[in-house]
Structure 1
Amino acid sequence: MGRKFPPFAAVRAFEAAARHLSFKAAAEELCLTPSAVSHQIKALEAFLDTALFERTGGRISLTLTGRGYAGKMTGLLDAFEDSTRSVKEAGARPFRVLCTPGFAARWLVPRLDRLGFGDRVRLRVSVGAPSTDFAANDSDLVIQWADDPVPGVVTEPFMTSARYPVISPALREREEVRVPADLLRLRLMHDEVLDAWDEWFDAAGVAPRALPRGPVFPNCELATTAAEQGQGVALAYDMMVRGTLEAGRLERLFDTVTLPVTIYSVAYPEARADDPMIRSFRDWVFAEMERDGAPLLARPAAE
């Protein structure tokens, strides 16, 4: 047996007329004529086989049955409106991603047009390592440095990369850099985190007595930016500078690379692992890495 409902337009007309105790006011609210409201209510009364209004001259009043029915219909329509609003708001909610400025500029932002809901991504950037304290960071997902585990947080590494020296085209031409040993007379950019110049020179077969002095930056992103501005040579992560190399703002020096290390992971609360937007964003990140020809570091999220 299917449900038997009265016409929805008739219910709306009755509920509005019951609230206003006026066909005219109900008509104005619903953008109808008073005659149309009256016809809808008569249709509802015929469906229910009972009178809902008492009509005396030009005045109307609810019958006892009408008062009870009106109260229930107002409650139902309010709940219907609230449910509809919540669905619309859920569909339009922003998706907040916390990451570093360098990751946003060099990797994430240039790709957002390929993300299905990229117009609803609200980026939150951090001047340091993005916090994975989701109770305090007001984010849905974090792009975390490396892959350190955090209790209550799903951490999935998605980017590993080797490193090689990069230089601005103008500086390379001015300094005539031709062999790895030429770097020993240049200014080198150093990182506080995982500085790997010793490793690179060792792989290149160069054994300097001491590395050239240069500024020490809190992260590789600032070191790479300094190199891009012609301040010296940085040891950049391949996966983070491909776009910059293609644009001609930096040039790669030599074929020698360091051993690959994990540099970025997606992190999100375990309690929200089934959130559709988190799943979609996470899968998109891994798809982008596969598109770049990077090795797959994690399985696709379970259906």
Structure 2
Amino acid sequence: MRPPVPLSAVRTFEAAARRRSFKAAASELNLTPSAVSHAVRKLEQALGTALFERDGHSLDLTAAGEALLDHVSRGFEEINRGFDLVATRAPQLLRLHCAPSFAAQWLTPRLARFLAEHPGFEVRLAAGMDYARFITDEFDADIVYGPPRGEGLVIMPLGQETVTPLCDPERAARISEPADLFDHVLIQSDNKLVRWPLWFERNGIRAPPSAGLRFDRSFLAITAAVDGLGIALESTFLAERELASGRLVAPLADRATNVQYNGHHLVFPAATRRRGPLRVFARWLAAELGADLPEEVA
């Protein structure tokens, strides 16, 4: 029968294996390098196998060490998730990754209300086009643009969006039908799923040659349209503040065929569905957007 292994020895092994250094592990754990080395030796004796290959100043894991580190790392991750689940004294931290235009145009303007409704919450928001890699446990959830990718994810569609030409009121006064767009600068959004050729096709017109202004973010295209630089083909969902204030107008909203699609989704690993802050945020988001709440967080 294998003798019991102290949890402290497992923690010491994990730090040394992750840092590939007894000295670095000692600094992290507030121990001496000799204490770390001794703890690892005791663990190797208990397991009856070598976990490290020691070659002068080099410290590498053996095959057994690599296998053990994989399991131990996942074990500590589960322990930390358990602490996050039951902790009540610490601030309720939500670590969120988000598509840039959704973050700038829709989410950030509402964060003040969300935080007012949920005292004690702390939100850490990162924006980027790359999807969050949940294997490092850096984020609780991601609001993605486009089809979600990855396995083992809970997916919550954030509702249907309408894409239509948007421009400033002065320019809108000169537009009454789709063909009028040929007389204006058309702002291109390079990373959009719905672009001008599709919109013109839906309206039975051949799209003009691609020219004018090009942006890689919707919030930049929306800002350019507000500033009178041209006509942006954008989501009324993302531009709702500009439309509500009158800075933007949708001149063809009722005179042309617009494109509707599900552009954004909230995604998170099924393993994190019990985290309190994530559940609260998902419920709030569903209520704000009239979206269907996944059973995993209902």
Counterpart check, 1:215 vs 2:213? yes
> Corresponding residue for 1:133?
133
- Give the secondary structure class of the aligned counterpart of 1:267: strand
Letter in 1 for 2:199: W
List runs of 5+ in structure 1 lacking aligned partners.
1-82, 291-295
Q: Could you say if the C-alpha distance between residues 224 and 119 of structure 1 is closer, same or farther in structure 2, counting changes exceeding 3 Å?
A: farther
Kindly provide the amino acid, as one letter, of the partner of residue 96 in structure 1: R
| Post-superposition CA distance 1:62-116 (Å, at most 9, x none) | xxxxxxxxxxxxxxxxxxxxx9xx94543x1421222134212321123234433
Q: 1:222 to 1:125 in 2, by over 3 A?
A: farther
Deviation at 1:280, TM superposition (A): 1.3
Aligned to 1:96: 95
Amino acid at match of 2:107: L
1:121 & 1:232 partners in 2: Cα distance? 39
**Distance in structure 2 (CA, Å) of the matches to 1:201 and 1:161:** 18
Name the CA distance, whole Å, in 1 between partners of 2:124 and 2:179. Answer: 41
Which residue number corresponds to residue 178 of structure 1? 176
In the superposition, the TM-score normalised over structure 1's length comes to 0.61
Q: Which amino acid aligns with 1:120?
A: F
RMSD of aligned C-alpha atoms?
Answer: 2.7
The equivalent residue for 1:281 is 281
2:165 is aligned with what amino acid?
A: P
What is the Cα deviation at residue 273 of structure 1? Answer: 0.9
* Structure 1 residue 285: Cα displacement: 0.9
Residue type at the aligned position of 1:226? A
Matched position secondary structure for 1:156: strand
Look up the match of 2:162: 162
Q: How does 1:48-197 map to 2 (within 5 A)?
A: 87-90=87-90, 92-115=91-114, 116-117=117-118, 120-126=121-127, 128-136=128-136, 138-172=138-172, 176-193=174-191, 194-197=193-196
Give the structure-2-normalised TM-score.
0.61
Native 8 Å contact 2:93 2:124 kept in 1: no
Bigger radius of gyration:
1
User: CA 1:137–1:276 in structure 2 vs 1: closer, same or farther (change >3 Å)?
Assistant: closer
Structure 2 unaligned runs (5+)?
A: 1-82
Question: Which residue of the partner structure matches residue 269 of structure 1?
Answer: 269
Identity of aligned residues (%): 26
Q: Which moved more, 1:142-151 or 1:276-285?
A: 142-151
| SS of the residue 2:185 aligns to | coil
Counterpart amino acid of residue 140 in structure 1: D
Q: CA deviation at 1:165?
A: 0.3
